[in-house]
Structure formats: structure tokens, C-alpha cells
Amino acid sequence: MRVAPAASAEAAAYFRASLAFHADVSDVAAALAADGDPGFVVLDSRSTESWDQGHIPGAVHLPTALIPEQAAGLLDPAVPVVTYCWGPGCNGATRAALALAERGYRVKEMLGGFEYWAREGFPYETWQGPVRPDADPLTAPVGTDDCGC
């Protein structure tokens, strides 16, 4: 290893902070599937064409560029927001989370984005209707909902 790991107290502070800023797709899916209010709203920050291609059921569609003018009309500032975009190679959800945080919203970014939502086999909607993909065994456990992490 070229760089030594941080001291344990620094590492704990970093990882604790990371959990306050990020959610993973399986935790978001579990919260949305549970009975009752999940305690947050999911926001898809992609274009309309991307939204039509596939999005999380119940998500609010608000492209990042429109957040300044439309967030107040679509989102309750008292309800935390979880943003997502295409996937780990895209920082659109990060930019959307920043735009919302700058406007006073409590926000987390969903790690993996729509790509990992679909790859883990969670249902999504398209302009043609609902889809339930098979889980990719490289990204999600097969035959159980518990990955052990």
C-alpha cells in the first residue's frame, strides 16, 4: 500500500460522515417497500428521456438544472431527499444533492444510482410500464434479500 491508512479516530469520523451523506440502493428499496412512510422522498435528477427509460416507482422527477426554480413547488423542505442519477460513473446525483442542500434541504445521495437499482433486481417503471429485472449475481445476493453487510 503506497499510502498508510488514516488513524482509527480519523477513519471513524470519515466513515460516520459518509453514512450521513450516502444511502445504498438496498437500504432505499427496503425503506420504500416497508409499510408506512419511509421518512424521505426519492428524487431522480436525470433528463426526461432518461426518466422515461426507467425510474424508481414513486420517485419525484426533477432534473438538476431545474432544482433552483422548481424544488420549492415539488419538495417539502421538512422531508429529507435521496437523490439518484444514472450510476457510479455519473455525478448528477451529487450535483442535485448540492443544489438541494444549498436551498436548505436535508439530502443524501443514493450510491450506485439507477444502474445498481436495476442490477440489484429492484422494480422500476418505464414509459411502457413496470419492469422487474433479475438480480445481477455480481452486485446482489441471489435467493436472499440479505447481503450480510
Establish if 141 belongs to a structural domain.
no
All residues at 6 or more sequence positions from 86 whose CB lies less than 8 Å from its CB, including other chains: 46, 50, 92, 113, 114, 115
Residues 67 and 95: their CA atoms lie apart, in Å, by 10
In a domain, 67, yes or no: yes
Task: Locate 66 and state its grid cell.
Answer: 431545474
Residue 145 resides in a domain: no
Instruction: List, for residues 71-98, the tens digit of each pLDDT value.
Output: 999 999 999 999 999 999 999 999 999 9
Domain that holds residue 33: 18-131
Domain count, the chain: 1
pLDDT of residue 141: 77
Q: Is residue 140 part of a domain?
A: no
Does 1 fall in a domain? Answer: no
Grid coordinates representing 83? 437523490
Of the chain, the percentage scoring pLDDT greater than 90 comes to 88
Q: Which domain CATH number covers 51? A: 3.40.250.10
Q: What is the pLDDT of residue 142?
A: 74
Q: Where are the alpha helices (DSSP H) in the chain?
A: 8-21, 25-33, 48-53, 67-74, 92-101, 113-119
147 has pLDDT over 80 = no
Task: Kindly report, residue by residue over 91-140, the tens digit of the pLDDT.
Answer: 999 999 999 999 999 999 999 999 999 999 999 999 999 999 998 988 87
**Has residue 72 been placed in a domain?**
yes
Residues 23-37: tens digit of each pLDDT = 999 999 999 999 989
Inside any domain, residue 3: no
Residue 138 domain flag: no
What pLDDT was estimated at residue 145?
Answer: 66
